[in-house]
Amino acid sequence: MSQETAHPVTLLNEIFSRAIVDVLGPEHEGVDPVIRPSKSPEFGDFQVNAAMSLGKRIGTPPRDLAEKLVESADLASIAETVDVAGPGFINIRLSETVLSDALDGMSGNGLGVTPVDDPHPVVIDLCGVNVAKQMHVGHLRSTIIGDSLARILERQGREVLRENHLGDWGLPIAMVLQTLREEEVDLEQLSLDQLDTAYRAAQAGSKGDDRGIAVVEERRIGPHRVAELEEQNAGAESRRAAAAETLVLLQQGDERLIQDWHRLIDCTMRAVYESLDLLNVEMDESNNRGESFYRNHLPEVVETFTANNLAVEDEGALVVRFEDRERPMLIQKSDGGFLYATTDLAAIRNRVVNENADRLIYVVDARQRDHFKDVFDAAKLAGWGTTTDGHEVEMRHIPFGSVLGPDKKPLKTRSGENVTLASLLEEAVARGRSEVLRRSEDERSPTHGMSADELASIGRAVGIGAVKYADLSSDLVRDYVFDMDRMIAFEGNTGPYLQYAHARICSILDKAGVEEEGFASKDLLLREPAERLLALQLLRYGEVVASASSNLEPHRICTYLYELSELFNGFYQQCPVRKAESEDLLLSRLRLCDLTRRVLSDGLDLLGIAAPSTM
């Protein structure tokens, strides 16, 4: 990489790494020069802090060491000023040429994002819908977060396999099928509301009340109440037995039952795909890997553990024990049935052995932390912690917190029901459209005079963008309050603010009346402080994407984009664009505007948020 196109941090790392070896000897080769962006722009663009730790380690005053490093470092071609400050900080202000050349280097399609050369796929387990149930706000977080992580990894060139681990098998599904048949529901015309009602009825009808009988007998409330509860328990037991028979028929491949089972899945997934489409999430039928997909693999999983003495019998059940925790992990019940852990182990084996993935990411709420720790450790015991070609497999659970209501409790409807995802998204779109329509009534607004369909489309993008940004912009494991008034605001750290910043730049470029080819190859003139600050922020984009990818933290993208938008506002206020002092300066600033627009658009896409050109 030449000094003309290298990123400034890369240049500084190379120069000061050599200086450290020149001053302290070859045994210090590979020492990190500790280069950070300056927190005080008036002192420089970057700060080199290596002398602070090295000086203490070798017994030399850090300031003396810093002065020796500056004397040894070849900075003449890249630095405008170099100062040693305080106890040993090295402040560097880069030359305008280095900054403009670095921006030239990132102006291509890559925008400074370096591709990762790894042929192994990454599997992201997201969404996690249960058949026969409506999606709720927990699915919102799993889906939004998982899709954003997939986009970030794909942006680096990784192959990503999005997998929706459907809850589509087992006794709960058989109970719903049994209930629908008893109620003679026409499954060819099945609605999601009917399916949801049947699910609730099946769950309620199969629950006995042994505890209730004990309390009634203890308190001698009366034989009539005991009789009522015994009748309830008998009914529940009968329904469970009928459901178990239905499950056996399903497992045996009963043709009519299989058809009905597919109708349940189709009814559930139609609503799921509507929500995914509204959320701009890239998933379809090809991404579904349900419990049914792994059902024939479960005996083989158990056999692997028993054959290798990795599981032991405990009161007729099979469990896996771990040296560092008391809780065992159950993989087969005493009646021969399997568990969620068994299915998850089958999924890991398939993803590692058959799909050759070296990174498995599970976007599931924080309450499942212990479950995934046990499953991951058990998979490694079974030998599924390494790909077939010898690469170590990274298994990561990405836990997330709850979506809270104004009362700081998990978001519920007024009747106490879980809020469905569909109703929440409907509210977001309605609020987005209302806000866009209100703003369009101002004659000065760029959207004034637009058609109803155009305004509705922008409003949908704003409403969904508001929800997604609110979800992704904070530390994922934290709970957050669903406050639509705050989310939909066009000011502050919100999705609509970033969308508006993008649309504003589009307007600036449009009003300038200069085609992109008229400024795309012009020299960048970065003489004003606001121009330099914006340039330095743009140059950080590739580093931020890489950091978000390695740490699996989309909020790093959000923070970066908000800071970029703020710096652009400062630049636009302090550096006239259309009224620039010269033609060269006009074209330079238009190019800087366009590069900012492209980075904003690219970054919003990594979050799955649309970037409207007019707002």
- Over residues 197-212, mean pLDDT: 69
Of 37, 59, 94, which marks where a domain is finished? 94
Amino acid 277: pLDDT: 95
Amino acid 237: pLDDT: 77
- Over residues 28-50, mean pLDDT: 93
CA distance 358 to 585: 49
Sheet holding 46-48, edge to edge: 35-37, 46-48, 89-94, 79-85
Of 273-287, 411-425, 592-606, minimum mean pLDDT range: 411-425
CA distance 406 to 404: 7
273-326 pLDDT per residue, tens: 999 999 999 899 999 999 999 999 999 999 999 999 999 999 999 999 999 999
Supply 470's token pair. Answer: 């609110």
**If you write DSSP's letter for every residue of 411-458 in order, what string do you get?**
-B-TTSPBPBHHHHHHHHHHHHHHHHHHHHTSTTSTTTT--HHHHHHH
CA distance 450 to 34: 52
For residues 240 and 205, the model is more confident at: 240
Of 81-85, 229-233, 278-282, minimum mean pLDDT range: 229-233
Amino acid 501: pLDDT: 97
Q: Is the pLDDT of residue 217 over 70?
A: no
Supply 63's token pair. Answer: 């300031």
- Helix extents (H) in 81-134: 96-106
Buried b (16+ CB within 10 A) or exposed e, 452-489: eeebbbbbbbbbbbbbbbbbbbbebeeebebebeebbb
CA distance 211 to 233: 11
Which residue, 142, 152, 144, is CA-closest to 122?
152
The whole-chain average pLDDT of the chain stands at: 91
CA distance 302 to 165: 20
Supply 608's token pair. Answer: 């799955």
Of 240-254, 436-450, 577-591, minimum mean pLDDT range: 240-254
Chain centroid to Cα 5, Å, comes to: 32
Amino acid 271: pLDDT: 92
Amino acid 4: pLDDT: 40
Cα–Cα distance list, 466 to 62, 282, 437, 487, 498 (Å): 48, 19, 16, 5, 10
Supply 562's token pair. Answer: 């908000």
Q: Is the pLDDT of residue 413 over 80?
A: no
Amino acid 378: pLDDT: 98
Amino acid 435: pLDDT: 95
Query: With bands split at pLDDT 50, 70 and 90, how would you rate the model's confidence at 214?
Result: low
Buried b (16+ CB within 10 A) or exposed e, 165-200: bbbbbbebbbbbbbbbbeeebebeebebebbbebbe
Of 48, 70, 94, which marks where a domain is finished? 94
Q: Is the pLDDT of residue 611 over 90?
A: yes
Sheet holding 359-363, edge to edge: 160-164, 122-126, 359-363, 394-398
Amino acid 205: pLDDT: 66
Task: Please indicate, yes or no, if residue 53 is contained in any of the structural domains.
Answer: yes
Amino acid 240: pLDDT: 79
Of 29-33, 333-337, 386-390, minimum mean pLDDT range: 333-337
Sign for the CA dihedral angle at 442, 447, 453, 456 comes to negative
Amino acid 225: pLDDT: 47
Helix (H) or strand (E) holding 147: helix 137-155
Q: Is the pLDDT of residue 226 over 70?
A: no
Task: Please indicate, yes or no, if residue 459 is contained in any of the structural domains.
Answer: no
CATH number, residue 32: 3.30.1360.70
508-531 pLDDT per residue, tens: 999 999 998 889 889 999 999 999
473-504 pLDDT per residue, tens: 999 999 999 999 999 999 999 999 999 999 99
Site of tokens 């459907």:
166
Q: Is the pLDDT of residue 553 over 90?
A: yes
Task: Please indicate, yes or no, if residue 390 is contained in any of the structural domains.
Answer: no
Contact 350, 333 (CB under 8 A): no
CB atoms within 10 A of CB 6: 18
DSSP state of 352: I
Of 203-217, 264-278, 281-295, minimum mean pLDDT range: 203-217
Mapped onto helix, strand or coil, the DSSP state of residue 124 is strand
Number of domains present in the structure of the chain: 2
Query: With bands split at pLDDT 50, 70 and 90, how would you rate the model's confidence at 29?
Result: very high
Q: Is the pLDDT of residue 596 over 60?
A: yes
Helix (H) or strand (E) holding 601: helix 583-606
Task: Please indicate, yes or no, if residue 164 is contained in any of the structural domains.
Answer: no
Of 194-203, 464-473, 595-604, minimum mean pLDDT range: 194-203
Task: Please indicate, yes or no, if residue 69 is contained in any of the structural domains.
Answer: yes
Amino acid 170: pLDDT: 87
For residues 309 and 205, the model is more confident at: 309
Task: Please indicate, yes or no, if residue 209 is contained in any of the structural domains.
Answer: yes
- Over residues 374-402, mean pLDDT: 96
- Over residues 123-128, mean pLDDT: 96
Helix (H) or strand (E) holding 164: strand 160-164
Task: Please indicate, yes or no, if residue 49 is contained in any of the structural domains.
Answer: yes
Query: With bands split at pLDDT 50, 70 and 90, how would you rate the model's confidence at 555?
Result: very high
Amino acid 207: pLDDT: 61
Mapped onto helix, strand or coil, the DSSP state of residue 394 is strand
Which residue, 104, 122, 217, 103, is CA-closest to 162?
122
CA distance 452 to 456: 6
For 46, the domain range is 8-94
Task: Please indicate, yes or no, if residue 352 is contained in any of the structural domains.
Answer: no
Cα–Cα distance list, 125 to 19, 165, 347 (Å): 46, 7, 10
CA distance 349 to 305: 12
* pTM, 2 dp: 0.89
Q: Is the pLDDT of residue 366 over 90?
A: yes
Q: Residue 408's beta-bridge partner residues?
A: none
